[in-house]
Amino acid sequence: MAHIPKGETATITIAPFQEALTAALQPREDYDVTRWLYVPNTYSEYRYILGTRGERPLICMGINPSTAAPDDLDNTLKSVQRIALHNGYDSFLMFNVYAQRATNPDSMERQCNQQLHRENLLALEYMLSLSPEPSVWAAWGAIIEKRDYLARCLADQIALGRRYGAKWFTAGPISKKGHPHHPLYLRKDVALDAFDPERYCREVLGLG
């Protein structure tokens, strides 16, 4: 199934993250909330978080959400889950630099919705708060070049991770341009390697 955005996210009502999280923690009939964290908890034009619950989660950071949902992971999310478990984590949390849902990144909106970005930062802060030493897997690939605002969003997220003492990792080979590898097509037994996100921002994205 493909998801083509219906339009700019500025034209729809964006649920505040805390409100959406509260709803996502309530029991549901369509999936097990003791196993899954899905925020918002219904399919929409955006997604803050999709993942499993555990004591030691690996936060995987992509660019933007596609169609995955609880008990219906796409191939990318299946790869994320396998690699997280192989590397000693008991769960994974999928986060994205930008929360707008689009199967094809070329369909992402041209301008950043600052409200959506702010709420997405709150989602990341929540995930970082779940671990004393949160682990973040940089997994966005070259797709970060699709929109100019993605680099600026990422810089805000890296700064937030610094406040929480996040440790950053990559999996698989770095691209010739210096981008971390996308999770799809990685071996399930690939190891995580240390990653310096601030150096990446300076040397690859050209941010000061």
Q: What is the pLDDT of residues 60-73, one digit of tens each?
A: 999 999 999 999 99
Q: What is the pLDDT of residues 168-191, one digit of tens each?
A: 999 999 999 999 999 998 999 999
Residue 208, pLDDT score? 67
Quick check: 26 and 14 in contact, CB under 8 A? Answer: no
How far is the C-alpha of 7 from the C-alpha of 9, rounded, in Å?
A: 6
Q: What is the pLDDT of residues 95-122, one digit of tens each?
A: 999 999 999 999 999 999 999 999 999 9
The residue count of the chain comes to 208
Quick check: 56 and 92 in contact, CB under 8 A? Answer: no
How far is the C-alpha of 132 from the C-alpha of 175, rounded, in Å?
A: 31
